[in-house]
Amino acid sequence: MFDFPLGKRYNPLTQHLRQKFGHRLQKVSVDAGFTCPNRDGSVAIGGCTYCNNSAFNPSYCSPQKGISQQIAEGIEFHERRYRRAGGFLVYFQPYSNTYASIDKLQALYSEALSAEGVVGISVSTRPDCFNDEIAQILADIGKSKIVLLELGIESVRNSTLQRINRGHSFEITIEAFEIAKKHQLFTTGHYILGLPGETREQMLDDTKVLNTIPMNAIKLHQLQIVRDTAMECDFRNLPADYQLFELAEYIDFVVSFTEHLRPDLLIDRLAGEVPPAFLVAPDWGLIRYDSVLRRIEKRFEELDTYQGKYLMGN
């Protein structure tokens, strides 16, 4: 079996970062006022059908406050909750955080990195908003600071990407990861389990493709129908197209999915979480991600299984 961290049956990103940097790193989200090319009309309008950024934006995040104020309030919030954090990563999270001029990006990233207690940045963006020039900016920052890059995969199927109004092809996704690899950037890919029209069998088969993408980590989310999105309307009109996971189903499925992922691929998250006020379906009650994670880890133990099992001849 792969040499996972003590007591784990999978390869958690948090443990990797703690081991590499010697302490816990805590992300502090900021809203820098970005938008997306499939919202402003340059590619499409309306955004991805599942997207309502208010559903995951912390209360202190608002572009009207400016970057520095958001960081200060975020650090104050997290210092009360995570007292063992040894440094903070400014997480450029909502929308596409490379979708601006080079000068603006450099100014925003520099302002974030100048804040006290900040040791690096984590930048979330779309594959079609990423290129060699942006990659070089991040690589230059990475010479002295921590830089993490998150790219949305969401699906490996162009038909699904089209249905959710993603605005780019899977081929563009692969190009973006190749650019990041060339510049030696640490990348995490987002992937959604349960998008409309995709079967459980297809999703398991997707691991063969995901294993070939040159990324360091993956962030898994179960599909959640969020209020005030185009997907909410689609779900109400075509519910048969959606195979949403009940909690127990998802725990079993994500364990099976992870059994098919290459063992060196770091796991950022194994499930997503949307505030109850924004959630239409599925209804898992008021359970938080930490509790879901504990159940997933328990299921790994019960089944005596581990990440990459089916790639290691067992």
The tens digit of pLDDT for each residue in 288-314 reads: 999 999 999 999 999 999 999 999 754
Q: Which residues contact 141 (CB under 8 A, 6 or more apart)?
A: 109, 113, 120, 121, 147
CB 262 within 8 Å of CB 308: yes
Residue 82: how many CB atoms within 10 A of its CB? Answer: 13
Q: What pLDDT score was predicted for residue 288?
A: 94
Q: Per residue in 196-253, pLDDT tens?
A: 999 999 999 999 999 999 999 999 999 999 999 999 999 999 999 999 999 999 999 9
Q: What pLDDT score was predicted for residue 46?
A: 85
pTM of the model: 0.94
Alpha carbon distance 167, 115 (integer Å): 35
Q: Where are the alpha helices (DSSP H) in 82-115?
A: 102-113
- For the ranges 49-63, 96-110, 294-308, the lowest mean pLDDT is seen at 49-63
**Residue 42, helix vs strand vs coil:** coil
Q: Which residues contact 170 (CB under 8 A, 6 or more apart)?
A: 153, 155, 156, 157, 158, 161
Q: What percent of the chain has pLDDT over 90?
A: 81
Token pair in block for residue 200: 């459980």
Question: Which of 306, 246, 254 minimizes the C-alpha distance to 282?
Answer: 246
CB 49 within 8 Å of CB 234: yes
Radius of gyration of the chain measured on its C-alpha atoms: 19
Q: Which domains does the chain have, with CATH numbers?
A: 13-311 (3.20.20.70)
